[in-house]
Amino acid sequence: MLGLVIESSCDETSVAVLKNDREVLSNIVSSQIDIHKLYGGVVPEIASRNHVKNISYVARQALDEAKVEFEDLDYIGVTYGPGLVGALLVGVSYAKALAYALDIPIVPVHHIEGHIAANYLTNKELKPPFMSLVVSGGHTHLAYVKDYTDIEVIAKTRDDAIGEAFDKVARVLGLNYPGGPEVSKLAENGNDTYTLPKTKFENYDFSFSGIKTAVINLANKEKENLRREDLAKSFEKNVCDTVVEHAYSAMKDLGVNKIALAGGVAANKYLRSKLFEEAKKNHFEAYMPEIKYCTDNAAMIACAAYYNYTCEKDKKKFDIHNNLELNAIASLKLDKK
């Protein structure tokens, strides 16, 4: 079974060709980071225009690298939400045009479902059920993956996403966009010497706006006396420890002993080692995607598309043999996909 799958929810135009469930034949990612860097963040209109410019070339490259032709494909997959609506629409329209021309089904995928599925590409033995800690630029979720296409949200952020907090702290520290990797690099030479606030709720929900404001206030107060490396380290440790603590306390309470990390912030070295270290202490199994599958890419979306395509229940729900009505949904909910 061969699927060609498109991801264009933010600033990466990506197309992958997947064979069966987990064999990536190609995964082309055309990043617009250098364009958006000039503005300190993603400019939605510019992102859409660049997706339009790139998408046919990226798809052609994905087919060439996989050594397959359009006629060999069994289905087209696409991220239909959440994300920037203009950016999503480019992928969805292109997918619909291809599916119509080739007379094959189109499989819609929730972007977060894709981030979680990145784990299957790296860990071939991984199967549901497990808990997933989704940490990205737009989302922070604790999700219970009951089955490949059945995901229950256990907790989410009440304000900023963790990646967003990394990006904002980076800006305060005078670093480039995207800020996560830059803050992490700076933190390598720092010590956890600044006391920053932690927010706690009765459930496992997250909140990162308090710590973001605390970092901004500290930077304004200390000015040239600010120890940037130490602040980067204190921030990184605080937010990464928090998400791991929430995940493990939910797992203990709910009797789940497997966890899979997902999303762009899963590329963070400290977070990866913290998750493994705590898993060892608690006798949990911890999984994470290879770095190349952490940030946005079409291979992870393709893996989720395969499971949606082969799930009878989802086939009916999405009417995938006849859904040229498919639309992009900017704020698509994970448990209401």
Among residues 11 and 314, whose Cβ is nearest to ligand KG4?
11
How would you classify the pairing of strands 106-110 and 23-31? unpaired
Type of residue at 290: E
- Kindly state whether residue 181 participates in binding ligand KG4, applying the rule CB under 6 A: yes
One character per residue 150-179, x = contact with ligand KG4 (rule: CB under 6 A): -------------x--xx----------xx
Q: What are the φ and ψ backbone dihedral angles of 199, each rounded to 5 degrees?
A: -100, 135
Tally Cβ neighbours within 10 Å of residue 200.
12
- Kindly state whether residue 105 participates in binding ligand KG4, applying the rule CB under 6 A: no
Exactly one of 7, 113, 160, 296 binds ligand KG4 (CB under 6 A); that residue is 296
Shortest distance in whole angstroms from residue 52 CB to ligand KG4:
20
- Kindly state whether residue 48 participates in binding Zn ion, applying the rule CB under 5 A: no
The stretch near ligand KG4 (CB under 6 A) out of 71-79, 195-203, 262-270, 276-284 is 262-270
Task: Please answer whether residues 20 and 75 qualify as being in contact, where contact means their C-beta atoms are separated by less than 8 angstroms.
Answer: no
Among residues 30 and 75, whose Cβ is nearest to ligand KG4?
30
Helices (H), ranges, the chain = 33-37, 44-66, 85-102, 111-122, 162-172, 179-187, 209-222, 228-254, 269-282, 298-310, 312-318
The stretch near Zn ion (CB under 5 A) out of 95-103, 133-141, 186-194, 319-327 is 133-141
Shortest distance in whole angstroms from residue 115 CB to Zn ion:
6
- Kindly state whether residue 138 participates in binding ligand KG4, applying the rule CB under 6 A: yes
Shortest distance in whole angstroms from residue 190 CB to Zn ion:
27
Exactly one of 268, 284, 318, 320 binds ligand KG4 (CB under 6 A); that residue is 268
Q: In the structure encoding, which two tokens stand for residue 96, read together?
A: 């619909």
Over the Cα atoms of the chain, what is R_g? Answer: 20
* Per rule CB under 5 A, count of chain residues that contact Zn ion: 2
Exactly one of 30, 54, 136, 297 binds Zn ion (CB under 5 A); that residue is 136
Q: How far is residue 228's CA from residue 24's CA, in Å, rounded to a whole number?
A: 40
Task: Please answer whether residues 50 and 13 qualify as being in contact, where contact means their C-beta atoms are separated by less than 8 angstroms.
Answer: yes
Torsion of CA 287, 26, 5, 28, to 10 degrees: 90
Interface positions with Zn ion (CB under 5 A): 136, 296
Interface positions with ligand KG4 (CB under 6 A): 10, 136-138, 163, 166-167, 178-181, 184, 263-265, 267-268, 295-296
